[in-house]
Amino acid sequence: MGKTTGFLEYERKTGPVRSEEDRVCDYKEFHGCLPLKEQREQAARCMDCGIPFCQAGVMIAGMASGCPLHNLVPEVNDLVYRGRMEEAYHRLSVTHSFPEFTSRVCPALCEAACTCNLHDLPVCTKENERAVIEYAYEHDIVKEETPEVRTGKKVAVVGSGPSGLAVAQLLNKRGHEVTVYERRDRAGGLLRYGIPNMKLDKSVIDRRIKLMEAAGIRFVYNTDIGKDISAKELESEYDGIVLACGASRPRDLNAPGRDAKGIRFAVDFLSEVTKNLLDSNFKKVPTQLAKDKHVIVIGGGDTGNDYVGTCVRLGAKSVTQLEMMPAPPECRTAGNPWPEWPRVLKTDYGQEEAAWKFGSDPRIYQTTVKEFIKNKKGELKEVVLISLEPKKDKKTGRMNMVPVEGSEKKIPAQLVLIAAGFLGSEKYVTDAFGVETDARTNVKTEAGRFLTSKPGIYTAGDMHRGQSLVVWAISEGRGAAREVDEALMGYSNL
């Protein structure tokens, strides 16, 4: 696959990235594409390794290694190398519903498992996929199939995030009549309101939704199932229901002064920013949310990084990002060998922008907030930070991060964004449908299945597996669609 000696002849090269000085002035995507000739050279680096771990999608040491969609990565790379872009698109579409999303926001599990990683830098599989899907859109190749014959079966999909969209796409292709219910004003779920525009331009979502609508999928917005429409109404109207509502309950931080004005869940904050931008066609930037404020982002993951970049653009006076755990090593350790997911230090775009603007990396490791301090008006004015250290619990043997006495320090803060992850599905939805949940409040199913405890009701995505990646959500949606189709028709060709 690719050019036999390509990985020896060509060094890894990625698309151009706009400078921090340029990109913090707007909300446009900042990571561009290589010219097709250069992208073909990158695809040529796929080294005919024999065992393509890149497409395995298996769990190793508790983390995924390779693509959960099982994209046939070497085959796609080979077609890109040979310049057969339309064939590459059709090959990719067999296993993937939305390459335009993952090629922008996925952490590239495929690249982490690439055999080139053993001695060199991995193949640019993520950017190869982006080149394929953008070529396909540019040349009017991307189509959503409108079935010639309908089955007479009706399916409701609750939630229009990546898993819900994948379910709808495949079931509509099969011939079922699909209606997607979304409680927000636009489709996309966290793709729309949980990822900043500079990382995923919302026009990318809109162009796919238009194709899906043209193929016969019906979208109903501003409709919260369990509140605006009862579960019983849905059950009486549809032959199957798929719950793909996400894991949207944010984890809170309980510390003295938590009721201070200026402490927000980060996902709500970003939703407000994005909605303001979209409603005004990017003419009105809601700078009042963070301008001239000292901002604390609690949470050190990719999501926390997105909020750092957002606050830089909104004119924050400073941004500090807190992470409870120790800083990862800069290189793989002996206990983290390839092809495991590399647990190494990564500096993302938001941290780069904060370092450019404020002079240093915004991250502080092994630290959390001990107390929020209010002024007389009840507004947040400062936070008390405390250092943490790992200690083994004598009873359980587990390592816990515990406070270090005497390590407290006070810093100014007028805005705190809590980005500490999510706790699971919304209780009012699971209660409305009467489906069982597990200890983490995820909707319970048999292992590897999508049917809930209630006949005719299925689940997929974060609501099923807990907070996860977009690529896992799409994989879940495709799996759920096959199971629903088989239940409705007696077999499935999806």
**pLDDT number for residue 215:** 98
For residue 229, the number of C-alpha atoms closer than 13 Å in the C-beta half-sphere is: 16
Q: Tell me if 6-138 shares its fold with 154-248+423-489.
A: no
Superfamily of domain 263-418: FAD/NAD(P)-binding domain (3.50.50.60)
Q: Are 44 and 9 in contact (CB under 8 A)?
A: yes
Instruction: Say how many C-beta atoms besides its own lie within 10 A of residue 90's C-beta.
Output: 14
What is the Cα–Cα distance from 227 to 241, expressed in whole angstroms? 16
pLDDT in the model for residue 50:
86
| DSSP-assigned letters across all residues of 159-221 | --SHHHHHHHHHHHHHT-EEEEE-SSSSS-THHHHSS-TTTS-HHHHHHHHHHHHHTT-EEE-
For 42, residues 6+ apart whose C-beta sits below 8 A from its C-beta are 10, 12, 13, 34, 123, 124, 127, 128
| Contact yes or no for 84/132 (Cβ under 8 A) | no
The Cα 397–Cα 259 span in angstroms is 35
Euclidean distance between CA atoms 411 and 115, whole angstroms = 46
Q: Which of 182, 224, 187, 219 shows the shortest CA–CA distance to 204?
A: 187
Instruction: Render 342-394 in DSSP notation, one character per residue.
Output: -------HHHHHHHHHHSS--EEESEEEEEEEE-TTSBEEEEEEEEEEEEE-T
Domain boundaries, the chain: 6-138, 154-248+423-489, 263-418
pLDDT beneath 70: ranges in the chain = 1
pLDDT digits (tens, 9 = 90+) for 47-103: 888 899 999 999 998 889 999 999 999 999 999 999 999 999 999 999 999 999 999
- φ, ψ of residue 206 to 5 degrees: the values are -60, -40
C-alpha distance from residue 266 to each of 114, 292, 293, 323, 416 (Å): 33, 18, 15, 15, 8
What is the reported pLDDT for 119? 86
186-207 pLDDT per residue, tens = 999 999 999 999 999 999 999 9
Nearest Cα neighbor of 299 from 265, 340, 329 is: 265
Residue 466: per-residue pLDDT? 93
CATH homologous superfamily of 6-138 equals: Alpha-helical ferredoxin (1.10.1060.10)
pLDDT of residue 302: 86
Q: Which CATH superfamily groups domain 154-248+423-489?
A: FAD/NAD(P)-binding domain (3.50.50.60)
Q: How far is CA 480 from CA 153, 249, 332, 491, in A?
A: 16, 23, 36, 14
What is the Cα–Cα distance from 228 to 427, expressed in whole angstroms? 15
